[in-house]
Structure 1
Amino acid sequence: MSKNDPPIFDSSDSVEYADGPSPINNPDSLPAGATVLEEAIEENQFQNGACSVHCPGCAEHLETYSEGLPEVFTHFAAQCEECEASIRRWSAVLVPGKSIPPFSHNELQEIVQSYWEEQFRQGVETDGLPHTREFGDECERLADKWGWDWEVSCPLCSRSLTELGSNHLGYHHWSYEPDVGTSLCRPCHDYIHGTKGGGSRTAANDQDWRAKEIGLRDFRDLAVIRLAIRHRHAHDDGRADDAAYLKQRYNIPISQERIQTLITETRNRNRVNDALMQHGGSPIIDSNRARATR
């Protein structure tokens, strides 16, 4: 970049946090009128009128709220007597009314699996405490108990923990204060940071300075560009240049406009491209599962 080139970005560009409805799952593909209990609590849904909670493994009735969910919801822990599974708010399905839900086992299964996968994409954390490992263990325990063909998989490369030879996903911080992140496997995490041991603050600090040296704002800029490259490598879905999609799917806490400029224009600048190639290209993805976006 010459002295006469305009700055890549104005340093006053504000940071946003991903919110609003996710475009990942087509809402038409999921049964209407049912949701995971935890999502209903967080979105203040089902607070007027009777609703009931059911086990997604066998559709067994677990709990009824005759007047709707309480405005202040503090506790849910149920034991399904039919399938002998311990069920918590992130694995229970909430439906309107008090009767048996008018959904098949496959539909209940799809509701819960879609919610689990969305949690990994959005980063499993509570008040700044990442719980990716614990949440993954619990989900796989239930999937195994219910006989579901489902495993924890990296949201970016779609490889399962079995394929990765790992027992948990890592947690990629887009921001430390406040805590904002997404779940990634180790190879994807290292690539996003451009270094081994990508999950440490030291790695983020190193990338932050590399970004500033070439005219970018901070480590997120390089990470976003690498993420788009990795997504294109992993998924044949034509969405690697779709800023709105990437922002929601990977919980990126910067503006859609900034993401779009980074992945379609800034990445082609010589100094940026040199920095990207300094640590090599996107690692090989040896998996048939990675060809379709989950």
Structure 2
Amino acid sequence: MELKDIDLNLLVVFQQLLIDRRVSKVAESLGLSQPGVSNALARLRKLTGDPLFLRTPKGMEPTPFAEQLAEPTERALSVIHLAINQRATFDPETSTRAFRIGMTDIGEIYFLPKLMKELKRLAPHVSLSTVRSATVNLQDEMEAGHVSLAMGLLPQLKAGYFQRRLFKQEYVCMFRRGHPLDKRSISLAAFSAAEHVVVISEGTGHGNADEFMTRRKVARRVVLTVPHYVAVGHILHDSDLVATVPERLAQALAEPFALSYVGHPAKLPEIAINLFWHERYNKDPAIAWLRSLIIRLHGEGAAD
């Protein structure tokens, strides 16, 4: 087989099939029709003389030959992408670029208001969407370029990713104003005797705080468990429940929901909130611009 016989777009479809494993999802990811993806796969099968992907209840599973092709194909496409974009420029005033950022619900509450205000001023035609690390495979999505950046406590993003620390923060104990614990500080005994709402935030490292308290045998009367932080402000405002939350989230929720917070009596470890991007897109000028904006707005030493 000669390179002149290969349509580069077929390799793009091949790489996306390795990530998504479903024709319908690949079509959505690449902006193609499902018949178009199926036709591309049929052409690839004819070119390689291999089925490449087999239908299973779990989706399209790659054959051994497809797995053999995966790494060199990814590497070749990455080199081509970087070469084409090396001299690209980004003008925020005129760009219509659409960015996707992986972040938690905490990130949406804390980061987005200031970021959207600044984007409106500097890049009025740019659009932004967010994805949750619990609902997508953030590693694959960032490697494929579908997610530009990720922000938060995301221990799963390691090899192949650059990161920049935005800030460190502590966990605090939060409750409604006027709560019996609404004092300058609270004891561990008082904390343990209170009724608690606990957030199970999948896809983040925030569960480490609960694990730390469990290891230290810090007792809590857990009466409510929720899967995200979005409703915590409403819940605390209208109840006597107590929540363990990151300090920056507490700062964002305190005034809107008439809440108070104090230093955590269990002396939980500090956590680092980082900005992540895949090494393939380190030199993408648009992503570099957005990174610098986020660091200016939310990095250590940024003005509130």
TM-score (norm 1): 0.29
- Could you say which structure has the greater relative contact order, defined with CA pairs below 8 angstroms and 6 or more residues apart? 2
Larger Rg: 2
If the length of structure 2 is used for normalisation, what is the TM-score? 0.29
